[in-house]
A and B are shown apart, each in its own frame.
Chain A
Amino acid sequence: MMLSMDTTFEQVRELALRSVTDVRYPIVKTYTLDALWVLYDRVLRVDPNRPDDPDRDRFLLSKGHGPSAFYAVLAAKGFFPAAWLDGIATLESRLGSHPDATLIPGVEMSAGSLGHGLPLAVGTAHGLRATGRTGSRVFVLVGDAELDEGSNHEAIAYAGALGLANLDVIVADNDSASHGWPGGIASRFEVNGWSAATVDATDHEALYRSFTTAHPDRPHVTVAAYRP
């Protein structure tokens, strides 16, 4: 199937489900699909014909477990053929249960081990600023349980103190952190000077508004709460 510019969200969902059936990973979910689709369809400046354009925006999927939604969106946007979604995680497949950036066009970060994406995003944000790519933004998606990893809090405190305004975090919050986040996830960022918004993870307009919120002097977090 070759998808056109006006692919609908329902078509992308079908692609995501197509890959789910093939993945042997036991907890594959697609609750990040809405956020990813809004991001790739309306916000990110990325071009499947020029996936290495140095001036592109960067999206780092830190929560690399169960990447069906991510693969579906990349396929829908033409970064690779939809046929790649069949036979995921088999020996001949470029797509696995954790994405490998060296194998898949459009994937910025090899993920799977939790807590690596946000620190990498901090460095990437610095690097884009240092090379004068002031129009390029860095988005990183983490899970609410992934936030348990202390490396995230090293990055949250630092990015807030520095005011890394070209950094955006999306927390895919499906309430799966073993010990929860008393006071809410957004407050964990706000105390370090971040701009923050908590939205319904399936509300495309609310996601879009948060992803495009102006935050000229500080990083921004979108907590996408999924409560089916």
Chain B
Amino acid sequence: MVYQADPLEDDLQPLTMRDAWAAHLSDLVDADPRLAVVLADISSDMFTDAMKAHPDRVINVGIREQLLIGAAGGLALAGMRPVAHTYAPFLIERAFEQVKLDFEHQGTSGVLVTVGASYDWAEGSFTHFSPRDVALFDTLPGWRVFVPGHAAEVPPLLDRAVQAEDGVYIRLSLRHNENPYAVPDGKLLVLREGKRATVAVVGPLLDNVLEATADLDVTVAYTNTPRPLDTAGLRELAAETGDAIVVVEPYLEGTSAWLVSRAYEDRPHRLLSLGVGREELRRYGTAAEHERLHGLDAEGIRARVRAFLA
């Protein structure tokens, strides 16, 4: 079977997050004998040389997502640091019991890296969307979640993920900001200061937020490491904006609301959660069009933030 087009390619980006991830991971595998990579056909063509060089550490199990996670868990049992990768819905949702039992219940961990995000391949529709992935990780203890906003943010995040002891989920997307940002470890990066609300935005939605709030009197803070969420930093910023908070995240709307709520047990606050809608759109089209339909383009974000401030 010949695929006519790879939906993960992007003509507009000379280097996608996935390109940056694969290139850097191949270098890391050469340098670190404890590192292993498990693939399930997706992206395997980007690791041809690495598979030849390290046949037991860089493996492609074929289209077998249960084995993808199980084999990664087994590598962890043998003392390795496994990186497992495929499309987000197949890795996180289809094989979620493997994620739960083959890492957490074994007392091990690994790095899980996905592509596809919430609507990257809009032409492919809901089978390839995974807006609920981060919410699922919130049901597991201790997992970190990294959501880069630009290809250049990927290598340093991957370095941190590989060196960590905990489980790490890295969510790659074709959606991206124009420029990369160096976010201080685990903290919110303040890009703009205002008085009426603190807008915390995750990963590739930053540019839309900056455009949407250009003339609004709000603080804008960015993160590409939403788990653990820097709620202490958020509280500090929000204290200067009347404890009015907007969280904009490129996955299921409200995913982080429980963490904000927990951080404010002792203090009244207002929260607007913006993210991907719960319902299937049952539409095709482009990722940019889906972003607009979910109200996550600059215009949609601006309208809801203004209503929140009114």
Instruction: Mark A residues whose CB is within 8 Å of B.
Output: 54, 58, 100-102, 108-110, 113, 115-116, 118-131, 150-151, 154-155, 157-158, 162
Contact = CB atoms under 8 A, between A and B. Distances in A.
B75 A123 contact: yes
A155 B77 CA distance: 17
Interface string B70-108: 111111111110100000000000000110011001110
Given A123-B76, A124-B74, A158-B67, 4 more contacts: A119-B73, A120-B106, A123-B74, A158-B64
B283 interface: no
A126 B70 contact: no
A126 B73 CA distance: 11
A155 B101 contact: no
Interface stretch (B5-13, B55-63, B247-255, B273-281): B55-63
Contacts of B54: 130
A123 B73 contact: yes
B56 A123 contact: no
A105 B210 CA distance: 55
A100 B54 CA distance: 32
Contacts of B107: 101-102, 110
A17 B30 CA distance: 51
A129 B67 CA distance: 18
A88 B80 CA distance: 33
B33 interface: yes
Nearest to A150: B66
A21 to B, nearest CB: 28
B78 A127 contact: yes
A119 B70 contact: yes
Given A151-B66, A155-B70, A158-B67, A116 B98 contact: yes
B72 A123 contact: yes
Interface in B40-66: 54, 56-57, 59, 61-62, 64, 66
A116 B77 contact: no
Contact of B78 (A116, A131, A150): A131
Shortest 9 CB-CB contacts between residues of A and residues of B:
A123-B74, A119-B70, A127-B78, A123-B71, A130-B56, A154-B64, A151-B66, A154-B67, A124-B74
Nearest to A133: B78
Contacts of B79: 54, 127, 131
Given A126-B59, A130-B36, A120 B70 contact: yes
B38 interface: yes
18 contacts: A58-B77, A109-B77, A113-B97, A116-B70, A116-B98, A116-B101, A119-B66, A122-B74, A123-B72, A123-B78, A124-B78, A125-B74, A126-B59, A126-B71, A130-B75, A130-B80, A154-B70, A155-B64
Nearest to B72: A123
